[in-house]
Structure 1
Amino acid sequence: MKVQGIILSAAVLLLLHPVSAVKSGDFKTCSQSGFCRRGRAIAARARDATASWKSPYSVDASSVSVSSEEALITAKVQSSLYPDVDFRLEMHVEDDGVVRVRMDEVSGLRKRYDEAADWALVKEPTISSDIRWTAGKKAVSAAYGAGVEVVLEYEPLRVVVRRHGKEQVVINGRGLLHMEHFRTKETPVANEEGLDEQDVMTSLKANAWFEGEDQDAYWEESFSKWTDSKPKGPESLSVDIDFPNHGHVYGIPEHATSLSLPTTTGDDPFFTEPYRLYNLDVFEYIASSPMSLYGAIPLMHAHSAESTVGVFHVVGSETWIDVAHPSPMSSQTHWISESGILDLFILPGPSPDDVFAQYARLTGTAALPAHWALGYHQCRWNYVSSDDVRGVQKQFDEADMPVDVFWLDIEYAEEHKYMIWDQKTFPDPINMTNDVAAFGRKMVAIVDPHLKRAEDYPVYSAARDKGLLIKQSNGEDDFEGWCWSGSSAWVDFFNPDGIEFWAKLFDPRPGKEWSWTQSTEDIYIWNDMNEPSIFNGPEITLQKDAIHYGGWEHRDVHNINGMPLVSAATSTGLIQRGDVRKRPFVLTRSFFAGTQRYGAMWTGDNLGTWEHMAVGIKMVLSSNIAGMVFAGSDVGGFFGNPDAEMLVRWYHVGIFSPFLRAHAHIDTKRREPYLLTEPYKSYVRNILRLRYSMLPVWYTAFRENSETGRPVVRPHYAVFPQDLNGFAIDDQFFLGSSGLLVKPVTRPGVTEETVYIPEDEVYYEYFSHQTYHGSAEGKNVTVPAPLDRVPLLVRGGSIVPTRERPRRSSSLMAQDPFTLRVALSKSGAAKGELYLDDGVTFAHRDGALVWREFIAAKTSKTTTIKSRDLAVEKPFAADLAIYDPANAFSQSIKNVRVEKVIVLGLSGKPSSVMLTGGGELVWEFEEGAGSAGKEERASVLTIKDPKVGIAQDWEVKITL
């Protein structure tokens, strides 16, 4: 590419964006961030003052008002630091028991950013009309639900949520709440005229006990070679949120660390910094650190054996969070944000499932993805030509390995002008895409948000001419920075016209304005670098004083920036581009609360190391409990050249991640799985086939998430919330409600693995049918883990539907038969679900679907297995008014049958296996094996071709 007369190669750009271990000096610590320093200093002064410390914030009791229509509390909040500054608080309880607390500065010199909730929330929550507030001299309170009480205490201001009298969440219990009010640079004390210098200094000294004696980075601050101007002055927000009876806290992704968040105020040398939420391009990130990464979801769960609660603080600015565990049964947190208002949702639980549902009602659930998107995605930086893409596809087919999607990184685009093909290397993009689509496959092309500043690039020139670009701090000139395109500009996606402009770009049909006509509906989009990443910016991102639509500074909206690009713009464009609306697929690196409604995410530029393989599992679990369920890590690691053992193990990790993609850096060796030598090549082929056989399980788990908010992959505390032994487990997990328990191997040289069973139930090894028995206290068992096998157990009481026919891609499986694995519990029962639709369109919202429940029940010597229509009783879409069992989709698969039923754990050999309304079925039985005191192999009954349709009601009776 040409920039200022110089041809910039990828090598030169890599100098701007160096590929090496993360340089900590490129990114701020709390001590280098003025508002974080100030917030932590308040906490330090509070600790030093101990019992004498008191919050300066209180509620004016005479101002408390309760709306008779909405049960909304409003009140004036006073600060003894600045009594003339007006703060207002609103508090209400929503229909599902969630408590919302909002506090803002009103009638000040300026307005604080208060639009973060507009992006995060799926809709404005409904205030409960059943709540009755009781106002007293010292507090106002309300009791509701199963023993829940919420209290607003006046002096000092404190919000407490209790359940059965026990404190669950306490806001400002340690007196760290501070909303820095707007002021002028010349007069540090707002709204006080005519003060001489001595008066000002006296006022500052009087408030030094809380705010400190210095105006620390109030109006500008420097980091490295950059200076951040702060024309609005200090506006940070600090608040302590404590969980007095919960010893574990989870969430606030994205961080590379354990699921149960370690303390940041203790002696661990790797966790002396607060957890930072500030979306950044951190290549080769550290595998155990509180450093900020690419996404930010300000949601935290707190958990104990008695209850689970959550807090969701809707703020889009940079935020630091200190975590402490003063005792094994309590947790304290301190949230420090650069700007915005206090907009806090308290999720009262009391179970993990309740918290998932409460958060989902606020921010929505993941959109049900296209079925093909759950298959295997093959990517690298870069497939260099259309012939290269065809060659990769050919070699996958020759190796008999399934794959659904091929990806193109930045080199497909001429001079990195996205959506403009390089005609030298990709002369026939439509034919290339059609060649891929002929095998039922799709393509994904990267479209980064930076636009090359070139007159011959119509995307840039049109956005500039329409005034849709982010502005410099003066609010007039377009911002210019450096990224892969060289000198670049950025569309302002907070501008509604910017969203509409971007969405129209993806329509391949010719129109009045430029659009990507050299594409097809089989090309989907990867939005990378959308933190935004700017190579010559502070911390490799955009200056905070840049200006967005509405006059807001970038500091106010930084963590939200990737969301309107993915959600409102790219996703909308993909849906609207065809005559028949199809589900979009958009991968994003940057994300915020609510992004789950529109796309998938991955954990960024990881390394090909065992440590990064292991932490990727924890990061995916953390994202899942925070609603961002369509998540995964790059298989093999983005950087490095993993050996064959590591690569095989990483594919095991990958197939049990909701999003499955292999990716590699431009400097790595080619490592497509067909290049492996034997036996590793066959290992990976079988691993991928295992993923494809379980696509019905994955799709059903996504359906459940879309309705309930429950994660697609679930940590132990979410499934067994009262099991103390499981609260910190994050290296094994459950796949939806399927009963599948997996523990990927993430260490070299391992041939067996320890798996924790949390209950007194039988678990079956998926491949060998070996049985493992837990106990009421929990039990560790040793499971074989040769390189060709992942430790995978089926929980007794589960029925797992799979499709066992090997195919090239998932779309070719649409008419394939099913196998049902019936893993009987100790009591001889089991159940499972299967959800199906066309996997492409939105017809399921109109009832074009199949949703079955399979039930096994035991009575005396008879075990009955039956299938029933769940959709008749539970229409899964909220807007699904009418469901017809004979809907168009159901009719399209009326010939799809159950080809095999495998029953594990029968107590003896059957005397007959009958189809109700039919005759004796063909079956085989294998006795269980084992000896006293040793684990056994379960008995296996295999029913061959029971001659029933997957979409039909049927019943099979097994008589011993």
Structure 2
Amino acid sequence: MNSESFNTSIINYFIDPTDLILNETGKIKGTIIKNFISVENEVEETIEKKIELPFEIQFNPQNDDNMFRFTIDEKRNRELKRNIPANMEINRYNETSKYSFNDPSWFEWDDTSSIEDAGYSVQIKYVENEFIDSFDDHSVYGSALATPSNIEYLLIQPSLQNDIQIQLSLFPTFKIVVFYKFVEVLTVNEEYLFNFEHLRSIKARYENLSPLESEFGAFKSDNSFNTLANKKELFFERETYKFGPQSIGLDFTFKNNITQVYGIPEHPGSLKLLNTWDDEFLEPYRLFNIDAFEYSHVNNDPLYGSIPFMIGVSHNCSVGVFSNNPSDTDIDVKYNDENVLTHWISETNVLDFIIFVEESPERLLKSFTDLTGNVKLPLLSSLGYHQSRWNYESSLDILYNNEMFKKLEIPIDFFWLDIDYTDDRKYFTWTDEAFSNVTDLLLKLYQDGGKNLVAIIDPHLKTNYFISNKVIEDGLAIKDSKFNNLVAQCWPGDSIWFDFLDTSKAYDLWFQFYKDFLSDATVANISNFHSWNDMNEPSLFKKFETTMQLDAVHNNGFEHRSLHNLYGLSMHETTYDVMKEVYNNEKRPFVLTRSFFAGSQKTAATWTGDNFAKWEYLENSVPMILNSGLAGMPFIGADVAGFFGNPSHELLIRWYQLAVFYPFFRAHAHIDTERREPHVIMEKSLKTGNLMKNSILKRYQLLNYMYNEFEKSTHTGEPILKPLLWKNFNSSDSAVFDIDDQFYFGDLIVKPVTESEKETIDMYFPETNNIYYNFNNYSEKLVFSGSDRNDRTVTLNVTLENIPTYIEGGSIVYLKETPRRSTAAMKYDHFTFIIAPDKNGNAKRTQIYIDDGETFDYQNGKYVKSFISYVDSKLIVESENSDLNEVPQYIEKVVILGSENSNGYSIIESLNLPLFESVTVSL
């Protein structure tokens, strides 16, 4: 259905005014009537149908975040579907919030709330009467509507969210208009694209169709690939559709001069979402977690994770739309001159949208992560360098690589094991010959600077061994459509899949598996083993869609189609919680997941999947990471320097230089690639190897600066890497909304080199700052006048040694300059502060955060948090919190940029200024 063919006489959705309920705190409830004429039934009769769809508008009582929730469900019963088994849920899936919300009761109000301090008021517009313009005098909160039949719309004012108003039109079709500070910013169902396929029986399927709906694929798979000729290529038979058609669709129009939208990862391509509407080559953006083998960088295909959160940004307003729905979803995007039209269609579940409206992208993302949760403070060591490949062959292989890192004085914190560490690809086992004493391996790594080991553990479990047998015995294997244990092919061959969505039972058994697996290590008080959850889209080895058939059934009674995109989250969240308990709630777990959903940021890091060792994938990693950050998932990286293929030495260098700033820095490669650890490359080219080493050293210099960015994100949800629009959304130059080959890292602005043999590169310097200092060469700076607002692109010379990196004027960046073998080894090193003054010679207040980097003691106040500023040639340390049972941390050296001497900067050494107490010193 589209707006051009919309006709209320054929199909219409309107709100029944007699069924509005306005007397519940924080909620407006009612019924949307689906009214249509069926003219295509078997006997060609004209049948008028009315379907009742209950809806709610909910307001947030937790704080003043400008958000509200809009849900639509349907009344369902088994009378229409008598063939549904008793252990299968008849209702649509509506439990997503248990996973996606940080607090599932976020929109629930205390029963003691009163009209005076909570709820909303309503202003009524009658069809024939003057507009009533006083909320106070005509509030209908807590009372029935006197004359509901002639209401045209309600104007709703939440009592806590004062900056937004919601106009709810009742007829001729329902529509929602959202106002921010009395300006229209978002319209819901303006194009009449809302559609809700209700429950029906096969027998009554024709009389439940309007002329604008189709029977295609309603009760069985009609995919063109499902033919007799292709049957041998399909692992599974044709999927069943027990409930018939269940899709839901709705349109959202971003207004107030919002002309670009972002988010909805994970897809390759640009930061700004592409125009897909009626595009000859592009499909709508699809949110469907899938094992995207050898994915292309040039399209918008779905990849491994899904966060259905889209944001639109203008100069004075940021709007977010979150679809709290983990089923297969398509989103079309249409750019117009002054607005953006988007159309969202999901295969099933209830319609559950949360709308956010704030002034800035920063405030918008905080609102979104207040709801879905912030990243947890990671292990400090997990921000260091990770060395991986498929596959390190033995404990000796790992230890040899570690010795080479030590010999060449290259820091490292994590080594990784892919699937072949297991006995015959059976998870929670080890290959005896190659890994005969893993506890000893863990101990050796820990003793050498607190280094860590990560091993892959996937959700598919080989049949007929003690782990999978126990899963089946406890009833935790996912079932096929006939309620038999689902058995399919994956890496181990015939496998079953653990059902993490049967939460309490799943946790207990998964905990027992990890506890037994790590018992020798934990008895020895060793806690440096961590987990990698891969293939958890879930991935199955079949040739069509490479994932679980959607009519498989979980033990909570729902079909897999209802919660497909939640599966990976349910696994990695269980793993995180289990690992935390295995380590007695003392050590922070590190979990990497390939599949994710909204809320995944609370318990896992991720990466961009199986990329190629090609320049295009290096370039594409930046917008992918930026969009993930804008959707609340900041702990992300990309396989350095490409999973498939062998990178050139130049590509290796450039990828390592960019990866310095990746929130997650892991080198990883396919089993068929050549070895490319830094020591291996050094044997072939000392120059290339040393440049790789220099990048790793720079990462460790900036490690605490990055850790501080993560600490801020635990409170605000802000990305670690930020697009230029983040700080410049109100810039007079619209270029900041489109640039996706540069980014902010704290107060550094970075331009990676993503093409071969570049000697010059164009870099954009936003107008919000007029001084930029070269981070690679302290003697150089760029100064713009206030009138240089339209000429901010500078052509820079580049060499192979560095990528362009600049410090914004008025900023402070801090480093630990002494190279060590790991994060733990540099724990008590003191700091160098780089002061980059603004035009007045000052630098703004900058946070520095320090804790033990490993435990949860910071939650009990065991940390140092101070703020450093530079004003009138004085360095000012303001201590906010100072309680850390560690060796004190000091500022050892200060570099002041922009000095008048011949170097262009000055150095003050041997300062020993404490960071754990307030102090002011003249420099």
Cα distance, 1:784 vs structure 2: 3.2
SS at match of 1:848: coil
Q: Say which of 897, 903, 913 aligns to 1:904.
A: 897
Asked if 1:847 is matched to 2:861, the reply is yes
Which residue pairs with 1:931 in the alignment? none
2:72 & 2:279 partners in 1: Cα distance? 35
Which residue pairs with 1:179 in the alignment? 196
Which residue pairs with 1:242 in the alignment? 253
Which residue pairs with 2:494 in the alignment? 487
Which residue pairs with 1:32 in the alignment? none
Which residue pairs with 1:927 in the alignment? 902
Which residue pairs with 1:696 in the alignment? 704
Does the 8 A contact of 1:221 with 1:228 survive in 2? no
Cα distance, 1:515 vs structure 2: 11
Q: One-letter code of the match for 1:152?
A: L
Cα distance, 1:220 vs structure 2: 3.4
Q: Say which of 560, 565, 575 aligns to 2:571.
A: 565
Q: Say which of 732, 746, 749 aligns to 1:741.
A: 749
SS at match of 2:832: strand
Q: One-letter code of the match for 1:58?
A: F
SS at match of 2:508: helix
Asked if 1:535 is matched to 2:535, the reply is no
Q: Say which of 126, 129, 139 aligns to 2:153.
A: 139
Asked if 1:682 is matched to 2:690, the reply is yes
Which residue pairs with 1:879 in the alignment? none
Which residue pairs with 2:30 in the alignment? 75
Q: Say which of 807, 810, 821 aligns to 1:794.
A: 807
Cα distance, 1:215 vs structure 2: 4.3
Which residue pairs with 2:100 in the alignment? 120
Q: Say which of 793, 801, 817 aligns to 1:780.
A: 793
Q: One-letter code of the match for 2:890?
A: R
Q: Say which of 153, 158, 165 aligns to 2:169.
A: 153
Which residue pairs with 1:318 in the alignment? 328
Cα distance, 1:142 vs structure 2: 2.0
Asked if 1:417 is matched to 2:426, the reply is yes
Which residue pairs with 1:474 in the alignment? 482
Cα distance, 1:744 vs structure 2: 1.0
SS at match of 2:57: strand
Q: Say which of 9, 15, 36 aligns to 1:59.
A: 15
Does the 8 A contact of 2:809 with 2:837 survive in 1? yes
Cα distance, 1:508 vs structure 2: 5.2
Asked if 1:766 is matched to 2:775, the reply is yes
Which residue pairs with 1:917 in the alignment? none
Which residue pairs with 2:146 in the alignment? none
* Unmatched 5+ stretches in structure 1: 1-41, 190-199, 872-884, 909-925, 929-938
**Could you say if the C-alpha distance between residues 241 and 381 of structure 1 is closer, same or farther in structure 2, counting changes exceeding 3 Å?**
same
Cα distance, 1:810 vs structure 2: 0.6
Asked if 1:230 is matched to 2:219, the reply is no
Asked if 1:838 is matched to 2:864, the reply is no
SS at match of 1:845: helix
Which residue pairs with 2:841 in the alignment? 828
Asked if 1:84 is matched to 2:50, the reply is yes
Which residue pairs with 2:43 in the alignment? none
Q: One-letter code of the match for 1:549?
A: N
Q: One-letter code of the match for 2:102?
A: V
Aligned-residue identity in percent: 33
Asked if 1:718 is matched to 2:726, the reply is yes
Deviations 1:883-941, CA, capped at 9 Å, x for gaps: xx3x2x2x4122x32110011124x5xxxxxxxxxxxxxxxxx336xxxxxxxxxx312
* Unmatched 5+ stretches in structure 2: 37-47, 81-89, 110-117, 126-150, 227-233
Does the 8 A contact of 2:35 with 2:50 survive in 1? no
Which residue pairs with 2:588 in the alignment? 583
Does the 8 A contact of 2:439 with 2:521 survive in 1? no
Q: One-letter code of the match for 1:387?
A: L
1:688 & 1:107 partners in 2: Cα distance? 58
Q: Say which of 346, 351, 360 aligns to 1:351.
A: 360
**Could you say if the C-alpha distance between residues 53 and 795 of structure 1 is closer, same or farther in structure 2, counting changes exceeding 3 Å?**
farther
Which residue pairs with 1:39 in the alignment? none
Deviations 1:810-842, CA, capped at 9 Å, x for gaps: 111111010000100112221322111001000
SS at match of 1:119: helix
Cα distance, 1:133 vs structure 2: 2.2
Does the 8 A contact of 2:329 with 2:347 survive in 1? yes
2:491 & 2:216 partners in 1: Cα distance? 39
Mapping for residues 327-346 of structure 1, pairs under 5 Å:
327=337, 329-346=338-355
Asked if 1:99 is matched to 2:68, the reply is yes
Cα RMSD (Å): 2.0
Cα distance, 1:802 vs structure 2: 0.9
2:502 & 2:369 partners in 1: Cα distance? 26
Which residue pairs with 1:35 in the alignment? none
2:740 & 2:717 partners in 1: Cα distance? 20
**Could you say if the C-alpha distance between residues 130 and 185 of structure 1 is closer, same or farther in structure 2, counting changes exceeding 3 Å?**
closer
SS at match of 1:220: coil
The range that moved more, 589-598 or 86-95, is 86-95
1:55 & 1:830 partners in 2: Cα distance? 62
2:280 & 2:698 partners in 1: Cα distance? 40
SS at match of 2:909: strand
Aligned length: 837
Which residue pairs with 1:10 in the alignment? none
Q: One-letter code of the match for 2:340?
A: S
Cα distance, 1:698 vs structure 2: 0.6
The range that moved more, 611-620 or 500-509, is 500-509
Asked if 1:265 is matched to 2:282, the reply is no
Does the 8 A contact of 1:821 with 1:902 survive in 2? yes
Q: One-letter code of the match for 1:562?
A: G
Which residue pairs with 1:880 in the alignment? none
Cα distance, 1:712 vs structure 2: 1.1
Cα distance, 1:636 vs structure 2: 0.8
Q: TM-score, normalised by structure 2?
A: 0.88
Which residue pairs with 1:506 in the alignment? 514
2:751 & 2:9 partners in 1: Cα distance? 48
Which residue pairs with 2:600 in the alignment? 595
Q: Say which of 369, 381, 384 aligns to 1:375.
A: 384
Does the 8 A contact of 1:219 with 1:232 survive in 2? no
**Could you say if the C-alpha distance between residues 469 and 762 of structure 1 is closer, same or farther in structure 2, counting changes exceeding 3 Å?**
same
Cα distance, 1:143 vs structure 2: 3.4
4+ residue segments displaced more than 4 Å: 50-55, 144-147, 508-511, 514-520
Q: One-letter code of the match for 1:868?
A: E
Cα distance, 1:694 vs structure 2: 0.3
SS at match of 1:86: strand
2:659 & 2:875 partners in 1: Cα distance? 33
Deviations 1:144-189, CA, capped at 9 Å, x for gaps: 6564221111011111101244321111110011110000001126
Q: One-letter code of the match for 2:777?
A: S
Cα distance, 1:522 vs structure 2: 1.1
**Could you say if the C-alpha distance between residues 182 and 392 of structure 1 is closer, same or farther in structure 2, counting changes exceeding 3 Å?**
same
Does the 8 A contact of 2:76 with 2:199 survive in 1? no
1:927 & 1:516 partners in 2: Cα distance? 58
The range that moved more, 668-677 or 576-585, is 576-585
The range that moved more, 140-149 or 764-773, is 140-149
Cα distance, 1:52 vs structure 2: 8.2
Cα distance, 1:368 vs structure 2: 0.6
Which residue pairs with 2:637 in the alignment? 632
Does the 8 A contact of 2:6 with 2:192 survive in 1? no
Does the 8 A contact of 2:507 with 2:578 survive in 1? no
Cα distance, 1:650 vs structure 2: 0.5
Does the 8 A contact of 1:402 with 1:809 survive in 2? yes
Does the 8 A contact of 1:509 with 1:517 survive in 2? no
Does the 8 A contact of 2:27 with 2:58 survive in 1? yes
SS at match of 1:416: coil
SS at match of 2:239: strand
